[in-house]
């Protein structure tokens, strides 16, 4: 039982890392990999009910981790966009947009 709880914590940590540092494709790929332990346990022990319960627990832990990771990522991006520019003005993001080749209204710089 303790191993299942530790694995659920591990799965949620993977969900946090996947959503914070990775793309949507990576999140989906890791989601499919999280299904494997429940399927293997269902096949090895021939207890389909236990395998489905594990699958549901893994899905809940992983989706909770993904949700938490996306929340933290969105909050950190919001903080980054509100930084103060070196000249003391409050529009630091505008300089970044111009450096990236766009003017503040989104049109390409010519």
CB 54, CB 37: distance < 8 Å: yes
CB 84, CB 90: distance < 8 Å: yes
Distance CA 83, CA 71 (A): 19
Kindly list the domain boundaries of the chain, sorted by start residue. 2-82
Distance CA 4, CA 47 (A): 16
Distance CA 82, CA 31 (A): 33
40-95 pLDDT, tens digit per residue, is: 666 666 666 666 777 777 778 877 777 777 787 777 766 655 555 555 555 555 55
Distance CA 65, CA 67 (A): 5
Confidence of residue 12 (pLDDT cuts 50, 70, 90): confident
Distance CA 16, CA 57 (A): 16
pTM of the model: 0.47
> What is the number of alpha carbons within 13 Å of residue 59 lying toward its C-beta?
10
- Mean pLDDT computed over 102-110: 55
Q: How many CB atoms lie within 10 A of CB 89?
A: 10
Higher pLDDT, 29 or 92: 29
Confidence of residue 105 (pLDDT cuts 50, 70, 90): low
Higher pLDDT, 61 or 103: 61
């Amino acid at each position: 039982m303790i191993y299942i709880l530790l694995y659920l914590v591990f799965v949620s940590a993977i969900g946090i890392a996947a959503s914070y540092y990775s793309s949507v494709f990576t999140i989906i790929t890791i989601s499919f990999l999280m299904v494997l332990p429940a399927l293997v346990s269902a096949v090895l022990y021939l207890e389909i009910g236990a395998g489905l319960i594990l699958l549901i627990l893994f899905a809940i832990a992983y989706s909770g981790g993904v949700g938490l990771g996306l929340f933290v990522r969105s909050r950190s991006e919001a903080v980054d966009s509100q930084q103060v520019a070196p000249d003391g003005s409050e529009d630091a993001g505008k300089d970044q947009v111009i450096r990236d080749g766009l003017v503040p209204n989104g049109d390409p710089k010519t």
